[in-house]
Amino acid sequence: MLFHRRQPRLKFQPPQKGEELIRFEHLQKSFGPKRVYDDLMLSVYAGETLTVIGGSGTGKSVLLKCLIGLLRPDAGRILFDGQELNDFREEDFIDVRRHVAMVFQGAALFDSLTVGENIAYPLREHFPHMPPDELRARVAEKLRLVNLPGIEDMKPADLSGGMKKRVGLARAIATDPEVILWDEPTTGLDPVTTETINQMIRSMQKQLGCTSIVVTHDMMSAFSVSDRIAMLANRRIVQVGTPEEMRVSTVPEVRAFLDARRGEFESQVGVGVAP
Ligand SMILES: Nc1ncnc2c1ncn2[C@@H]1O[C@H](COP(=O)(O)OP(=O)(O)OP(=O)(O)O)[C@@H](O)[C@H]1O
């Protein structure tokens, strides 16, 4: 457990709401001959919910993974709270992941552990000396926050898909992160559970003041939860704007993307119709 003894590399001072918290600057990333980003620029501000949309394979998930050090950019900079992450070593990213939690697509719970043990897992990792009572209290508090109080002793196999997602969220927020990354949070869920997850995203912002970056194909969800939406196409961010600005966008890539998905959400948001 070498990382418990080392000095934290990240000096994190939570910024005021609305201040820049994350900046992707001139990012380049390729996998072999496949260029994913050429010159990607994007800022994320403290307290906002920003959704990244874009076609399949445009690099939405790669962006989240670069932020928490699971992948490294080839060139350009990623700044978190003003600190450049490029020369962070593998173990330095543990500090970043304490402040930036990822809710994975498939919830990724450990099947052999109970729900309570799953949520306690990151707490044990980041706070190895936390007393058992406090650990239990924190687990119970997080389960209450995701509206699943008292299910500590259940096993993941006994949960529905939506419950698993919420337990995944409880685990992600166990360490009280300032930033939550949501990778396709509503994929494969029925409409009722989708709305529950959308409410969770909004409530994390309201109740905990979290900054969220959401990656989704689900335009209903994007329009419902976002303060701003960023569109990834042609290896860069082609537009960032409020849902209203995106809805009436004349940027060709955005227009084409939204028009192709018009049926999914037009009755709800009236896409393409000027306000
Ligand atoms: N570890 C990796 N090794 C090789 N190629 C990768 C790796 N991770 C991602 N890619 C490639 O990078 C591109 C972008 O992937 P990414 O998963 O970010 O797409 P996405 O926009 O999230 O797509 P989707 O909406 O289909 O999930 C894809 O072509 C993908 O195959």
Share of the chain above pLDDT 90, in %: 60
Q: Whose CA is nearest to atom 9 of ligand 1?
A: 62
Residues 157-188, buried b or exposed e (16+ Cβ, 10 A)? eebeebbbbbbbbbbbbbbebbbbbbbbbbbe
**Dist CA 17 CA 242 (whole Å):** 17
Q: 62 with 36: CB under 8 angstroms?
A: yes
The pTM of this model reads 0.88
Q: Mapping DSSP to helix (H, G, I), strand (E, B) and coil, where does residue 16 land?
A: coil
pLDDT at residue 270, rounded to an integer: 44
Q: Which residues pair with 161 in a beta bridge?
A: none
Q: How far is the CA of 62 from the centre of ligand 1 (A)?
A: 6
Cα Dmax for the chain:
57
Q: What is the CB neighbour count within 10 angstroms for residue 3? A: 13
Identity of the amino acid at 99: H
pLDDT at residue 273, rounded to an integer: 36
Q: What is the CB neighbour count within 10 angstroms for residue 93? A: 18
Closest C-alpha to 182, from 249, 121, 93, 102: 102
Q: What is the CB neighbour count within 10 angstroms for residue 31? A: 11
Q: For residue range 111-143, list pLDDT tens digits in order.
A: 999 999 999 998 998 888 999 999 999 999 999
Residue 260 has pLDDT above 60, yes or no: yes
Residues with CB under 6 A from ligand 1: 31, 34, 36, 54, 56-62, 217
Task: Using most ligand atoms within 8 A of CB, pick from 28, 30, 38, 58 the residue to mutate for ligand 1.
Answer: 58
Q: What is the CB neighbour count within 10 angstroms for residue 57? A: 10
β-strand pairing of 211-215 with 49-54: parallel
Q: What is the CB neighbour count within 10 angstroms for residue 268? A: 11
Mean pLDDT of the chain: 89
Residue 145 has pLDDT above 80, yes or no: yes
**Dihedral sign, Cα of residue 146, residue 115, residue 62, residue 126:** positive
Residue 182 has pLDDT above 70, yes or no: yes
Q: Domain limits of the chain?
A: 45-263
Q: Whose CA is nearest to atom 18 of ligand 1?
A: 59
**Which helix (H) or strand (E) is 268 found in, with range?**
helix 262-269
- Asked which of 29-33, 236-240, 243-247, 267-271 is least confident by mean pLDDT, the reply is 267-271
Q: Mapping DSSP to helix (H, G, I), strand (E, B) and coil, where does residue 240 land?
A: strand
**Dist CA 85 CA 69 (whole Å):** 8
Q: 149 with 203: CB under 8 angstroms?
A: no
Residue 243 has pLDDT above 50, yes or no: yes
Burial of 197 (0-12, 13-18, 19+ CB in 10 A): buried
Question: What's domain 45-263's superfamily in CATH?
Answer: P-loop containing nucleotide triphosphate hydrolases (3.40.50.300)
Q: Name the pLDDT band for 197 (thresholds 50, 70, 90).
A: confident
Q: How far is the CA of 25 from the centre of ligand 1 (A)?
A: 20
pLDDT at residue 271, rounded to an integer: 43
- Residues 122/195/114/153 CA torsion (nearest 10 deg): 120
Average pLDDT over residues 147-151: 93
Q: 47 with 212: CB under 8 angstroms?
A: no
Burial of 195 (0-12, 13-18, 19+ CB in 10 A): middle
Q: Name the pLDDT band for 196 (thresholds 50, 70, 90).
A: confident
pLDDT at residue 207, rounded to an integer: 84
Q: How far is the CA of 267 from the centre of ligand 1 (A)?
A: 31
Q: Whose CA is nearest to atom 30 of ligand 1?
A: 57
Average pLDDT over residues 190-212: 87
